[in-house]
Amino acid sequence: MNTLVSIIVPCFKQAHFLNESLQSVLNQTYPNWECIIVNDGSPDNTEIVAKQWCTKDKRFKYLYKENGGLSSARNAGITVGTGEFILPLDADDLIHETFLEKLVPVLNNDKALAIVSCYSKFFEKNINNIVKELKPKGNDYRFLLYVNQLIATSLYRKECWEAVGGYDESMKAGFEDWEFWLAITKTGRKYKIIEEFLFYYRRAKKSMLVDTISNYAENNKEYIFKKHSDIYIKDFENCMTVLFYHIKTHRDSEIKLKNSLEYKIGKILCKPFRMFKIKGK
């Protein structure tokens, strides 16, 4: 069980979280890892923090690159990594001390597996303040078609990254990990979920995930659907059911909003301003 794991930690404007994240790496009970800290052109003190960790333990390595986004940073780190297995870890998230100890043997013992993941806990401010739990399901691409079951911090074989050409660097507004998992699993490769809470996701008011869901979700989904149209066409009936469900849900929410008391009051209050605008034309 001496397989080397390359842990890739991209960092952009998150140096204030980096120490905590890297400490969770250092705490691993499985010792055979290297951790590549990728400074994605960050304007803060990421370099200073990263180099302190490289001095502390030779398994930490530092890489600087011009800013290119999360996919680009992960690809750069994986390219210089020498591990057979890859574990992406965002600079503000944490892994349980037994994460590698429990996931590495699963991937080692089943050559048919491409990816191993686990249950997650979402926290705010500190790891003791848990606000949500995530228990993903499934084992193949069919479970990933409409919902991303796999967290970005899932363990996978580097050969799978090579086979699909890495993370899609054109996806700079999120969902790049979802697209990556689909690219791997649609070839027939499987994933497995370890039913233990071994990953901790930091939920912040301002984060890439929040920004993606608020502003780019539809565009990103459209890109994924078109890029992997072969598997969505194969699942055509379900695909149409899902799409029209979302259309109906959106329409119903609009109707509900227009029928709400707050909307009607707001409409009445704004009426004088609309009349003024018309008169002033």
- For the chain, the structural domain boundaries read 5-204, 236-279
Please check whether the domain covering 5-204 is classified as CATH 3.30.70.260.
no
Query: Stretch 185-189: mean pLDDT, rounded?
Result: 96
pLDDT in tens, 113-157: 999 999 999 999 999 999 999 999 999 999 999 999 999 999 999
* SS3 label, residue 213: helix
Q: Is the pLDDT at 245 greater than 80, yes or no?
A: no
Measured between alpha carbons, how far is 150 from 135 in angstroms, rounded to an integer? Answer: 10
Q: Is the pLDDT at 94 greater than 60, yes or no?
A: yes
pLDDT at 38 (0 to 100): 98
β-sheet bridge partners, residue 260: none
* SS3 label, residue 33: strand
pLDDT in tens, 201-219: 999 855 554 555 556 788 9
Query: Stretch 70-94: mean pLDDT, rounded?
Result: 98
Q: Is the pLDDT at 267 greater than 90, yes or no?
A: no
pLDDT in tens, 33-58: 999 999 999 999 999 999 999 999 99
Contact 123, 200 (CB under 8 A): yes
pLDDT at 87 (0 to 100): 98
Q: Identify residue 144 by its one-letter amino acid code.
A: L
Measured between alpha carbons, how far is 143 from 154 in angstroms, rounded to an integer? Answer: 16
Q: Which secondary structure element, helix H or strand E, spans residue 115, and what is its range?
A: strand 113-123
Helix (H) and strand (E) counts for the chain? 11, 9
